[in-house]
Amino acid sequence: MTRAVLITGGGGVGKTTIAAALGVAAAEAGHRTLVLTVDPARRLATALGLEKLGNHPEPNPGLHGLFAAMLDSAASWDAIAYRHAPEEVADRLVTNPLFEAVANRFPSGQAYAAAEEMAVHLESGQWDVVVVDTPPASGGIDFFEAPSRMRDLVGGRLLRWLTGARLPGRRGLFNLAGRPALRLGDALLGGPLLEQVAEFLFDLRTTYDGITAKAGVIERHFAAAATVVVSTADPGPLREALRFHEVGIEPALVVFNRALPDEWAEPAEPLDDGRAAAALNENLARWALEVRRQEDARADFSGRVGTAMVTIPWLADAPTDLEGLRAVFAGAPELTLEGVGI
């Protein structure tokens, strides 16, 4: 049985680093591990053995049993079309400019594409552990809501509006005269555009059964996975982290990244010799303020959410190689594989 670990949270909190560090730790514990990531920092990608974008897992040259793939959402959308629509319809879809626009801009699209890709790997039977670095869209919540949004998109709500209550055949898709709402739409946007959209949606509609079934499977994968919410002690990321709780997603673990040592806030004997003493006393005093702010933010958070929490120390330099990723894991003794169900 493949274990899925979903790493999620707001932008810029270090999700990818933590996904990679967990991946390295899992592989070193002997699990055949895949890290699925979206657009990592270049040097981190190199550390994972990733030179180019691609959905195909690449083995890590430095660590046996560790693989990584970088999700290419445009390629994933094409794959979705061919997976769920008859080939001739899929051919028409992937060359339709509206399809490309939806692929690029439908906010849940990239997230859904990533979720389908995740499902492919979870069901392949090739992996003991799949660690997913979720796409950064609105705080990672999008990833969890993507299946239902996608179902709505292809579910024909708009198509029904454009065509009336019953789904027509391909011909006579669109009946302007009978629909006052459409007459206004036509005055505003022009008939050819609406007709083009209706044709596109008609094709997209053929994916409905497939996507509905798949979305259900993906939601079951989500429910079975261990979710790790990453945050810093800053207000924006904390708000994103709280949103998971608000929508009823219970994480296995909340990770506070960029944590400072608590002892910096304890009263310290001031340095009194040497030129540097005054500067260092002042420096410790201002970082102590930051330590207290972090402590308060974490206490406030744990007061609202009962989830297990771990802290990861703030590193001046983000890890760029396997050694650095091992150090992230080793530097956070509370972060364990057992804690995320591996």
Partner 1 sequence: MFDRSLLVVSGKGGVGKSAITAALCILAARRGLSVLAIAMTDDLGLGSHLGVDRLGYRPQEIRPGVNALTIDRSQALDEYIRLQLHAPRIAPLGPVARGLNALADAVPGIRDIITIGKVLFEAGKPQWDIVIADAPPLGQITSYLRAPVTIAGLVPVGRVRDQALRYEEELGNPDHTGLVLVVTPEELPVVETNEARGEIASLVDIAAILTNRVLDPLGVSEETLTGMPAGPHRDAGLLHRGLYDAQRRWSAEIPDGPDIPFLFGVHTPGEVAVLIADSIGGTR
Q: Which of 74, 75, 284, 309 lies at the binding interface for partner 1 (CB under 8 A)?
A: 284
Q: For residues 203-262, which are near partner 1 according to CB under 8 A?
A: 234-237, 239, 260-261
- As a whole number of angstroms, the distance between CA 249 and CA 5 comes to 14
Q: Which of 29, 176, 189, 330 lies at the binding interface for partner 1 (CB under 8 A)?
A: 189
Binding to partner 1 by CB under 8 A, coded x per residue (else -) over 37-56, reads: ----xxx-------------
Q: Strands 253-259 and 309-313: what pairing? A: parallel
* Residue nearer to partner 1 on the CB measure, 1 or 181: 181
* Residue nearer to partner 1 on the CB measure, 254 or 265: 265
Backbone angles phi, psi at 333, to 5 degrees: -60, -25
- Min separation Cβ 245 and partner 1, Å: 15
* Residue nearer to partner 1 on the CB measure, 187 or 223: 187
* Residue nearer to partner 1 on the CB measure, 29 or 271: 271
Between 208-224 and 141-154, two packed helices, what is the crossing angle to 10 degrees? Answer: 160
- The DSSP code sequence of 19-77 is HHHHHHHHHHTT--EEEEESS--HHHHHHTT--S-EEEEEE-TTSTTEEEEE--HHHHH
Helix (H, G, I), strand (E, B) or coil at 306: coil
Q: Which of 2, 3, 8, 10 lies at the binding interface for partner 1 (CB under 8 A)?
A: 10
CA torsion 67-71-72-75 (nearest 10°) is 90
* Residue nearer to partner 1 on the CB measure, 56 or 286: 286
Task: Please count the other Cβ atoms lying within 10 Å of the Cβ belonging to residue 253.
Answer: 21
**Nearest CA among 211, 193, 207, 235 for reference residue 10:** 235
Binding to partner 1 by CB under 8 A, coded x per residue (else -) over 80-109, reads: ------------------x--xx-xxx---
Residue 13 binds partner 1, judged by CB under 8 A: yes
Task: Please count the other Cβ atoms lying within 10 Å of the Cβ belonging to residue 86.
Answer: 12
Rg (CA), the chain: 24
- Min separation Cβ 214 and partner 1, Å: 19
Residue 59 binds partner 1, judged by CB under 8 A: no
- Min separation Cβ 306 and partner 1, Å: 23
- The DSSP code sequence of 73-87 is HHHHHHHHHHHHS-H
Residue 21 binds partner 1, judged by CB under 8 A: no
Q: Which of 61, 169, 178, 274 lies at the binding interface for partner 1 (CB under 8 A)?
A: 274
- Scanning 24-32, 68-76, 79-87, 280-288 for contacts with partner 1 by CB under 8 A, the matching segment is 280-288
- Beta-carbon contacts of 39 under 8 Å, excluding residues fewer than 6 positions away, are 70, 136
Q: Could you tell me how many residues of this chain bind partner 1 (CB under 8 A)?
A: 67
- As a whole number of angstroms, the distance between CA 123 and CA 121 comes to 5
Q: Which of 57, 65, 147, 185 lies at the binding interface for partner 1 (CB under 8 A)?
A: 185
Distances (CA, A) of 198 to 173, 176, 211: 7, 12, 19
* Residue nearer to partner 1 on the CB measure, 10 or 251: 10
Using the structure block, give the residue that is written with the tokens 């904390």. 238
Could you say which DSSP state residue 245 is in?
H
Binding to partner 1 by CB under 8 A, coded x per residue (else -) over 133-172, reads: ---x-x--------------x---xx--xx----------
- Scanning 56-64, 179-187, 322-330, 332-340 for contacts with partner 1 by CB under 8 A, the matching segment is 179-187
Q: Strands 3-9 and 54-59: what pairing? A: unpaired
Q: In the complex, which residues of this chain contact partner 1 (CB under 8 A)?
A: 10-13, 41-43, 98, 101-102, 104-106, 136, 138, 153, 157-158, 161-162, 180-185, 187-190, 192-193, 197, 200-201, 234-237, 239, 260-261, 263-264, 266, 268, 271, 274, 276, 279-281, 283-284, 286-290, 292-293, 296, 314-318
